[in-house]
């Protein structure tokens, strides 16, 4: 039999590896989740691993089982998400696990998708030992955009911005290039490359001549470019604007398509519409006005702020007016990570309401 997890933590180590594998699916798997799996033989030795790499492709468990072959029999599958129990573009993973002769399945996070959930119960009914919740925090982080999107039925939105120590994203004359260092900007392109969608307002893309593409350190386009969404109420973004070139797909989010909302486009309908189109992770790069609109609507799930060692004393703030009249009404965020990148700090925050459901949160 596989070793006892409480005795030596082997399942936790395997789950950490599965979470690393799952993260490789960023910007590749939508509308499916990012999932990683590790197969341990009956003695607890790793004999196979896999990750879901594309919509319609084999799931992580199936890839890991194929790599393990006959060594999987009477072994354990460690997987970041509860195995699916429905027949979509591929057969259910639960059936593959049964066919492989697995004796135990260890998973981190239950599947919130009502069409795919039930895998744990199905496996238990067929005599397979099921252990939930192992390594849930790491597995959640590798797939948090999808989990949030499925739960809320809208895209997960991360607001990314660079600001000075005194909270300015542009100087008094409007100049903003560049507040952050080259190292921070390269990291920002990494975030773009991990997203399904990049969102900005018409004013920002026109003022900055932004292309909103994901590029490497040498400025070359990366594969699998995200959809570029320009929030443009009347659809007036010029056809020759850099953001509408052929390097990536572009959509204008207009009131005609998504309806009117406070100050412009109905942002909730936009977020739900992007979800309905199969997108799960959106990166918001709009200016202070658009950021304030998304924040006021409760649609921003995470903040990634690059804090630069500059002082301006005046200029544009991180967001426009959020309608907060008193401190008691302020939105609360939890700091998840602080990382030094060149001379800058990258600060990552999650909404307090989101972290309540996040494994390991307090």
Give mean pLDDT, residues 7-35.
Answer: 88
Does residue 7 have a pLDDT over 80?
no
Does residue 356 have a pLDDT over 80?
no
**pLDDT greater at residue 160 or residue 325:** 160
Give the residue range(s) of CATH 3.40.430.10 domains in the chain: 154-355
Q: Which of 49, 61, 145, 206 is catalytic?
A: 61
Q: With contact defined as beta carbons under 8 Å apart, do 86 and 92 qualify?
A: yes
Does residue 5 have a pLDDT over 60?
no
Tokens coding 229: 């969404």
Does residue 46 have a pLDDT over 90?
yes
* pLDDT band, very low/low/confident/very high, at 346 (cuts 50, 70, 90): very high
**pLDDT greater at residue 344 or residue 115:** 344
Angle subtended at Cα 300 by Cα 295 and Cα 304, rounded to the nearest 5 degrees: 105
pTM for this prediction = 0.90
Average pLDDT, the chain: 90
Class of domain 154-355: alpha beta
Give the residue range(s) of CATH 3.40.140.10 domains in the chain: 5-142
Distance in angstroms (rounded) separating the CA atoms of residues 321 and 290: 11
* pLDDT band, very low/low/confident/very high, at 357 (cuts 50, 70, 90): low
Does residue 130 have a pLDDT over 80?
yes
Q: With contact defined as beta carbons under 8 Å apart, do 194 and 26 qualify?
A: yes
Which residues lie below 8 Å from residue 43, measured CB to CB, with a gap of 6+? Answer: 2, 3
- For residue 212, the 8-state DSSP code is -
Question: Roughly what angle, to the nearest 10 degrees, separates helices 10-23 and 60-68?
Answer: 120
User: Which listed CATH number (2.160.10.10, 3.30.590.10, 3.40.50.1400, 3.40.140.10) goes with 5-142?
Assistant: 3.40.140.10
**Other C-beta atoms within 10 Å of 128: how many?**
20
* pLDDT band, very low/low/confident/very high, at 9 (cuts 50, 70, 90): low
From 201, 154, 194, 176, select the one nearest 300 (Cα to Cα).
154
Active site residue 61: yes
* pLDDT band, very low/low/confident/very high, at 1 (cuts 50, 70, 90): very low
Does residue 4 have a pLDDT over 60?
no
């Amino acid at each position: 039999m596989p070793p006892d997890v409480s005795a030596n933590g082997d399942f936790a180590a395997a789950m950490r590896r599965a979470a690393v594998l799952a993260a490789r699916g960023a910007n590749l798997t939508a509308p499916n989740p990012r999932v990683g799996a590790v197969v341990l033989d009956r003695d607890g030795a790793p004999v196979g691993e896999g990750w879901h790499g594309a919509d319609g492709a084999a799931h992580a468990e199936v890839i890991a089982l194929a790599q393990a072959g006959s060594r999987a029999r009477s072994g354990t599958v460690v997987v970041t998400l509860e195995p699916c129990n429905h027949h979509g573009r591929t057969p259910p993973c639960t059936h593959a696990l049964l066919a492989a002769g697995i004796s135990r399945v260890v998973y981190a996070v239950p599947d919130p998708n009502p069409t795919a959930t039930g895998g744990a119960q199905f496996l238990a009914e067929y005599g397979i030992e099921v252990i939930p919740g192992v390594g849930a925090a790491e597995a959640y982080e590798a797939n948090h955009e999808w989990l949030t999107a499925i739960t809320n039925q809208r895209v997960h939105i991360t607001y990314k911005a660079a600001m000075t120590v005194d909270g300015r994203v542009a100087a008094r004359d409007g100049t903003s290039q560049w507040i952050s260092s080259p190292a921070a900007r390269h990291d920002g392109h990494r975030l773009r490359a991990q997203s399904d969608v990049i969102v900005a307002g018409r004013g920002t893309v026109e003022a900055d001549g932004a292309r909103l593409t994901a590029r490497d350190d040498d400025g070359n386009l990366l594969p699998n470019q995200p959809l570029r969404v320009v929030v443009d109420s009347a659809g007036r973004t010029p056809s020759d604007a850099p953001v509408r070139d052929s390097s990536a797909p572009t959509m204008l989010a207009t009131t005609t398509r998504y309806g009117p909302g406070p100050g412009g486009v109905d942002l909730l309908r936009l977020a739900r519409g992007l979800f309905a189109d199969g997108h799960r992770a959106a990166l918001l790069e709009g200016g202070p006005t658009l950021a304030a609109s998304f924040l006021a609507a409760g649609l921003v799930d995470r903040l990634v702020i690059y804090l630069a060692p500059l002082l301006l004393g005046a200029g544009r703030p991180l967001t426009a007016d959020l309608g907060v009249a008193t401190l008691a009404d302020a939105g609360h965020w939890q700091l998840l990570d602080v990382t030094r990148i060149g001379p800058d700090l990258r600060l990552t925050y999650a909404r307090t309401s989101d972290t309540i459901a996040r494994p390991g949160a307090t």
